[in-house]
Chains A and B, each alone.
Chain A
C-alpha cells in the first residue's frame, strides 16, 4: 500500500465525522482538497524541492488521528510551567490539533481583536473567515497542504481589525500529548487589517515519548500598512516529524517578520511562501536550527516580488553536529515590472562534524532590470583562530566552542523585535548548546 492510500481510505470512511466536527468554512474546501491530494499525492524525492526529505516515508506509518474529537486529558497550563518563555504574553494552547478553550487568558484584548479557536471564529464570523481561510495556501499545488486542508478540524486565529495595535505579544503553544503515535493537522490563520499591529509567538512542543507527525498550514494576511511579527519556536522530540507551510500575503507598506527557530526536533520541513503584493512592503524572513544526532531540518523559501519598491531580507543559519542534516533552498522571484526591488538572501552553516551534511541552494529569478538583489551562502567549520584566541585567555576548548556556536547564531536573534523573547531565546540557545535543554520529562507527572 502506498503512503497516500491510507489517508484516502481514512477520508472516505470518516468524511462525515470530520465534517460534523468542523465549521462550514473549514468544510468548504475539503472536497477539492481531497481531489487535489488524490491527484498530487506526496512529493517524492524525485521532486527537486523535496530531494533531501523523504515525505512518503514520514507519512507511511499508521498514526492515530483524533477525528472524533475526544478530549485529551491534559492541563496545558500545568505542563507548560517549566521551560517556555512566558514573557508577558497572552497564552493560548492547541492540544494536538484542538484549540484548548477550557481556560483562556483573563486579560482582555483591544476591542474587536480575536485570538482563539478557528472553528469558533468561523462560526461567529463566517464571512471574514470565509474570505481568508485557505486563500493563501493553495491545496492545488502541494500534496501536503491538500492533505492538511482535507483533514483539518480546528486551529488558531488571530484577527486584528483596522488601526488596532495589540501591545502584548500573543503566544500560541502547540502541544503534542498522546499515549499512542499521533498525527495532527494544524492551521493558523492571521488576519491583519490595514494599519494594525501584533506579534505572535508559536511554540511547538511534544510531551510524550511516542511518535508524532504534524502538518501545519499558517496563513498570514497583512493589509496595507500592517505590522506583524511571527516567531516560531520548535522544541519537540526526535520522534516528531513536522511539515509546515507558511504563506504570507503582504499589501502595500506592510511589514512582516517571520523568524523560525528549531532548538530540538526529529524531522522538520519548513516551507515559506512570502508574496509582496503592494509597493513598499517589507519582509524579513529568518531562521536558525541547532541540530545534532540524526536531526533533520529542510527549509524551502519562496519570496515573490510582484510589484515595485519592495524589500525582502532573508537570513538562515544552521549549526550541525553529529550526523544531522540541513537543507536550505531559497528562491527569490522578481517579477517583470517589479523595479526598485531590494532582495537580500544569506545562508550560513556550521558543520561541526565530518558526518554532518548541509545542502544549500540559492535561486534568484529576476525579470526586472533595476533591482538590488544578492545572495550569499557559506558552509564551514568554526574559526580555528578564534577558538585558539579564547583558549589562550584560559577558556577551556569545550566552553570556547560553545561560546563561538552561540555567537554564530547571534544575528538571527538580532531579528527578534521582542526584548523578553530575545533574552529567553539567548538563554534557551545557550542551554541547547550546553546540552541542558530539558525535555520536560517531569511534566508527565503533572498530567491530570
Chain B
C-alpha cells in the first residue's frame, strides 16, 4: 500500500528526515516511536503534503501512485488521513459544513453524487457516537473551544466520516487523560479492517496498550534505526531510547 524509499526532507532549510525506508501493507498497524525531535511529525507532514516541508530526495509510492506529486486534497481523496497532533481551530466554519464539504468532495472524486442532507445528518450521528461526541458537535465551529480530548476525538470522528485506507495518527495520545485515550483508541480499533492500514506515531508505549501494532519502528535523527515486533515497544518503555542511540 505504502512504500517509502530513501526519503529526505527539510523544513525551513533544516534537514529533518535523512533517508527513511518504510513499507506498509494493507491490514497492518505500524507504530513509529522515537525521542523528541527525531522526525516523527515531519514524516507525517510530508506524507499528507504539508507545503512547509520540502522533500529533497527519495520516493513515496502509495497504491501504485507517486504520492509526492499529489496535492494535499488529492492525497486525502485517495484515502490518506492524518489525525493532527495539534488540530487547528477554525472559527466560523461549522463541523457540519466542514464535514459535508469534505465527504462530498471525496464522493465527487469517486464520481458519486453528494449525500442527501438527511442521510448526511444520520451519517454524522452514527459516526460521532463512535467517539462519544454529543449532538452539539454539528453546530460547533471546527475545534473552536474544544478541550484537548474533544479535539482528538474530533480527529477520529473525521476519520470515521472519511473512511481512509491509510490513517496516520500523529501523537494522538498526547494530552489525553485515560478515559479520552480509551475512547480515542476504541474508535480507531472499531474503524480497523483487513483492507486498511494505520501508522501510529507516538512517544510513549501507553497508546499501544490499546492499539496493538504489528510492527514497531524507532525513528532517530531522521532515520529508522530499529524495526521489530510489538515487544520492542515494551522494551523501549522499560529502557528508554538511549541504548538504541549508542547501538547506532
Contact = CB atoms under 8 A, between A and B. Distances in A.
A173 B119 CA distance: 40
Nearest to B93: A407
A394 B109 contact: yes
Interface string A381-396: 0010110111111111
A355 interface: no
Given A392-B82, A393-B98, A393-B158, A407 B73 contact: no
Contacts of B106: 394
A295 B92 CA distance: 25
Contacts of B102: 390, 393-395
A389 B92 contact: no
Contact of B76 (A386, A392, A403, A409): A392
B72 A392 contact: yes
Given A391-B71, A393-B98, A403 B93 contact: yes
Contacts of A395: 73, 98, 101-102, 105
Interface in A393-426: 393-397, 399, 403-404, 406-411
Nearest to B84: A389
Interface string B83-100: 010011111110001100
Interface in B15-29: none
A397 B73 CA distance: 8
Contacts of A391: 49, 71-73, 76
Contact of A394 (B88, B92, B105): B105
Given A394-B162, A396-B105, A388 B93 contact: no
A196 B76 CA distance: 55
Interface of A is mostly: helix
Nearest to B76: A394
Contacts of B128: none
B90 A386 contact: yes
A11 to B, nearest CB: 48
A82 B212 CA distance: 60
Contacts of A409: 92
Size band of the interface chain A makes with B: 20 to 34
Contacts of B139: none
Interface residues of B, number: 30
Contacts of A389: 84, 87-88, 90, 142
A408 B106 CA distance: 25
A390 B158 CA distance: 11
Contact of B50 (A388, A393, A397): A388
A410 B88 contact: no
Contacts of B51: 388
Interface of A: 383, 385-386, 388-397, 399, 403-404, 406-411
A407 B48 contact: no
Nearest to A394: B76
A404 B93 contact: yes
B88 A385 contact: yes
B77 interface: yes
For B49, B51, B98, B141, the residue with the greatest tally of chain A CB atoms inside 10 Å of its CB is B98
A386 B88 contact: yes
Nearest to A403: B93
A-B interface, 3 closest residue pairs, ranked by CB to CB distance from nearest: A407-B92, A410-B92, A394-B76
Nearest to B51: A388
Given A390-B98, A392-B76, 20 more contacts: A383-B88, A386-B90, A389-B142, A390-B101, A391-B72, A391-B73, A391-B76, A393-B162, A394-B73, A394-B106, A395-B73, A396-B73, A399-B101, A399-B105, A403-B93, A404-B90, A404-B92, A407-B91, A407-B141, A408-B92
A252 B50 CA distance: 55
B55 to A, nearest CB: 16
24 contacts: A388-B50, A389-B84, A389-B142, A390-B101, A390-B102, A391-B49, A392-B50, A392-B72, A392-B75, A392-B84, A393-B76, A394-B73, A394-B105, A394-B109, A395-B98, A396-B105, A397-B71, A399-B105, A404-B90, A407-B90, A407-B92, A407-B93, A407-B141, A411-B91
A68 to B, nearest CB: 50
Contact of A390 (B77, B89, B90, B141): B90
B92 A406 contact: yes
Nearest to B89: A386
B99 to A, nearest CB: 8
Nearest to A398: B73
Contacts of B142: 389
A388 B72 contact: yes
Nearest to B80: A392
A386 B82 CA distance: 14
A406 B75 CA distance: 25
Nearest to B74: A394
Nearest to B86: A385
Contact of A403 (B50, B73, B88, B101): B101
Contacts of B50: 388, 392
Contacts of A396: 73, 105
A405 to B, nearest CB: 10
Interface string B47-77: 0111100000000000000000001110111
Contacts of B77: 394
A87 B77 CA distance: 40
A242 to B, nearest CB: 28
A411 B84 CA distance: 27
B8 to A, nearest CB: 21
B70 to A, nearest CB: 11
Nearest to B161: A393
A406 B71 CA distance: 23
Nearest to A388: B50
A383 B77 CA distance: 22
A368 B9 CA distance: 59
A386 B77 CA distance: 18
A73 to B, nearest CB: 44
A409 B87 CA distance: 22
Contacts of A385: 88
A305 B39 CA distance: 57
Nearest to A408: B92
Contacts of A383: 88, 90
For A392, A397, A404, A408, the residue with the greatest tally of chain B CB atoms inside 10 Å of its CB is A392
Contact of A392 (B48, B89, B90, B101): B48
A98 to B, nearest CB: 41
Interface in B214-243: none
